Every structure is written in structure tokens, then in C-alpha cells.
Structure 1
Amino acid sequence: MDKNDLLLYAVTDRNWLPEGETLEEQVEKCLKGGATCIQLREKHLSEEEFLEEARRMKAVCAKYHVPLLINDNVEIALAVDADGVHVGQSDMEAEDVRAKLGPDKIIGVTAKTVEQALLAEKHGADYLGSGAVFGTSTKEDASKMDHQVLKQICQAVQIPVVAIGGITEENVAELAGNGICGVAVVSAIFAKKDIEAATRELKKRTEEMVKA
């Protein structure tokens, strides 16, 4: 896993889709703006619809040479030859995902504590997603994470850590000095009228934060 691929990690959410636009069109705008990784997150599509969506998304991401990760669904990731999978604490264990995907795919794991982070690393995770660093409206069960905990997680593991949860271009600078290599966002990109411009600006500010 190249940690530079995690600088600006966009997680899809079709709740922000305006009428007449497809998810692939939204994602392409965000890729034009400089997103470095895409996670396809679908909670309400049938397996067949999810599979078709993943195939289309794989083609868009391949065009921009950006990794495509599938949220939770290992079978879909295998079927479309996605670059990897992201799993939460209530999903499949990283070592079981690795056994299914093989050695060359990316595995991301959500970690909210140092203990979860160390276990995920031990089980073969390539990166961690930690948060919600500013709280979030995207996931109802996500409680706000103390930034000191985020820093402790970054110090405890050797693998890259991405912050997630309520991150915007206005507050991303507050994450400087914690040791993260990038941010994962949903509404900070997909809720914007000009997705490409919003992505470009957030990427610029994230680069400044990581270097600070």
C-alpha cells in the first residue's frame, strides 16, 4: 500500500446524487479534482446491482490509475478484481479477508482504539481508518474520537492511518501533527455543487496538513 494513495480518500454515498446524474459521473468529477483513492460503499443495493455498479466504478478508477476499494463486500471485490476491501469492526476479520483476497490486494480496517489498531495490523491490514474525528452525520453509530487517541493509534502501528468523520476543508488543518497520512471524506466532496473544485481545494489543504 502506497500511503500517498490515501491522501484524499473519497467514500461514495448515493444520498448526495442529484437527479439525472450517476454515481460514476460524480466519482469521475472527484477523480479529475485529484482524489487518490475511491471506496465504493453501498448499503442498500441488491448484490446484482452492487456488482454492476462496482464494474462501472472499476472502469472509471482504472482510467485515472486510482485504487478502488469495496466497502465490506469481499465477494464483490473478487468478482470485479477491485484493488481491495475496507472492513469495519463488525465485519470479517482482516486475516479472513486476506485468505480470500490473496497477498496482493489492499485491506483497510476501521480502528477506534489502539487495541483494535494493533490487532488489525497483526492480522494483515494494510491501512487503518480511524474516527469519527469530528463526529459525522454519515454514520449514525459513529461517536466522536478524541484526537489524542488518533495520535496514539498512529504511534502504535507501522501501517498508514487515515482519519475519517466530519472532515471538511475548514477543519482539516486541525488534524496536523497526529501522524495521519490522509483523510477519508464523504459529504466534503459529494455534497458539494462543484465536486471537482471541492476535491481540488480539500486535497491542497490536506497536503498542507500532512506536511505541517
Structure 2
Amino acid sequence: MIRDLRPRLRLYLVTDPQLCRDAGLENTVRQAVDGGVTMVQLRNKHATTAARIDMARALRDVLSGTGVPLIINDDVEAAVAADVDGAHVGQGDISAADARAMLGPDKILGLSCENAQAVHAVNPAVVDYLGLGPVFGTTTKADHKQPIGFDGLAGLVAQSPLPNVAIGGLKAKHQRAVLEGGADGLAVVSAICGQPDATAAARAFAETEAKL
């Protein structure tokens, strides 16, 4: 496992099957990494485990040699079968302890936390990083929890025992507020997926950060 995840959480791409449809999943991810994406999460809520395994194996080939970790959302079985870098689970999914038991000790495990109670319940011996939010509402995740805003994000960051990434409706224009709030990075979907040039869209985050 990557021992210091913080640099890898800086610009965390979460894929969306509809937004990536025209350019293609593999091409979108390839372009995004060329633009500076530091971590990739395969998220496809409606795919079967078998389909996720196939997609993950294709993305694993795309990312080979880049040093960019590949995580699968919600489907720990697919993460194990495809031998990717890890999995990310939510509060309503498989428990973090069960996910860790399936993944083994050397894979990355992320956990979504929407409130202080969830953050306080985290076992740092089991989980490697936290996804905090949603900061804003987003159409890419219809069942998201109540948005917490930047103040809520800063509050969760202050209580987090682990590296963390802000999630939920974030764009390049939000990067300053996210990083100044103490988060290690931000997870984005539509800010890169579905954009005419995924490389340029990802690069916009690096350019924004350079001005901070």
C-alpha cells in the first residue's frame, strides 16, 4: 500500500458512466491523469460485479506505470478480483471491518463520512482515508446526504484522524476553500468527466493550486 496517501488525494477523480460515455471511460481517465489527476475511483452504481471487474482491469492497464492508484467504489469483491489498489465504501455499504478483511492489510480502504459521529467511529487501524461531505449537492449522486458546506467540511477535517478528501459538487473554483479548510484534496466528477478536454479540465486544478 502507498504509505503516504495525502499527495495522492490532491485531485481525486470519480468516474461517471454517463458523463464518460462520449469520450469513453479509458480515454477520459488517460486524459485526466495526463492533466494531473492523482487518484482514480471507478464508480458505476448500475454495473454488475463482473462488468466492474472488466472495467477495472482495463483502467488498471491505462494507469500502469503512472503511480496513480485505482479504487473501486462500493464493490469490494470486484476490487479483490481485479487486483486494483483498493476500495471505497459508504456508511450504508459493507462495514469497513468486513471490507478490510476481504481486501487484506496491503490494499487502500476509503470510507465516506457525512457527520462528526461517523468520523469519531472510524478505526484508523482499519481505514486509510476518509471522504468528507458532501460539500454541495450533486446530480451525479442522487442519494447524497445533506450538504455540509465549507464550514461543515472544516469541522470534519479538524476531527479527522486520517488523510481526507472533500467530496460533493466540487469544481476548480472551490479548490482554495477546500485546501484552506485543511482537506488534503478534493474529489471531482463532472468537473472532469464529460468535459470537452479532460486533460485541460484536470490541469485547471493544478493551475488554480499554483496560484494559492
TM-score normalized by the length of structure 2? 0.91
Residues 1:207 and 1:108: Cα distance change in structure 2 (over 3 Å): farther
Q: Work out the CA distance in 2 between the residues paired with 1:139 and 1:8.
A: 19
Provide the aligned C-alpha RMSD in A.
1.7
Aligned to 2:8, which of 5, 29, 34?
5
Query: What is the match of residue 118 of structure 2?
Result: 116
CA distance in 1, matches of 2:39, 2:210: 15
Task: Give the match's secondary structure for 1:199.
Answer: helix
Residue 208 of structure 1, CA deviation: 5.2
What is the identity, as a one-letter code, of the residue corresponding to 1:156? Q
Q: Distance in 2 between matches of 1:98 and 1:109?
A: 11
The residue type equivalent to 2:174 in the other structure is N
2:147 corresponds to: 144
Aligned partner letter, 2:195:
K
Letter aligned with residue 145 of structure 1:
I
Which residue of 1 is the match for residue 42 of structure 2?
A: 40
Identify unmatched segments of 5+ residues in structure 2: none
Which consecutive residues of structure 1, in runs of 5 or more, have no partner in the other structure? Answer: none
Which of 168, 181, 188 is equivalent to 1:178?
A: 181
Specify whether residues 172 and 98 from structure 1 end up closer, same or farther in structure 2 by C-alpha distance, changes over 3 A only: same
Shift of 1:141: 2.1
Please give the per-residue CA displacement for 1:151-180, whole angstroms capped at 9, x wherever unaligned.
222111221111011111123223243110
Which residue in 2 is equivalent to 1:133?
A: 135
Counterpart in the other structure of 2:159 = 156
Q: What SS class does the counterpart of residue 26 from structure 2 fall into? A: helix
Alpha-carbon contact 1:94-1:123 (below 8 Å) kept: no
Q: Secondary structure at the match of 1:162?
A: strand
Distance across 2 between alignment mates of 1:44 and 1:15: 11
Of residues 38, 55, 58, the one that matches 1:56 is 58
TM-score normalised according to structure 1 size: 0.91
Partner of 1:201: 204
Residue correspondence of structure 1 range 67-82 to structure 2 within 5 A: 67-82=69-84
Residues 1:181 and 1:71: Cα distance change in structure 2 (over 3 Å): same
Q: Aligned residue for 1:17?
A: 20
Segment drifting more, 28-37 vs 175-184: 175-184
Task: Decide whether aligned partners of structure 1 residues 75 and 170 sit closer, same or farther in structure 2, where only a CA change above 3 A counts.
Answer: same
Q: In 1, are the aligned partners of 2:50 and 2:78 still within 8 Å (CA)?
A: no
Tell me, in whole angstroms, the C-alpha distance in 1 between the residues paired with 2:34 and 2:15: 15
**Does the 8 Å CA contact 1:38/1:61 hold for their aligned counterparts?**
no
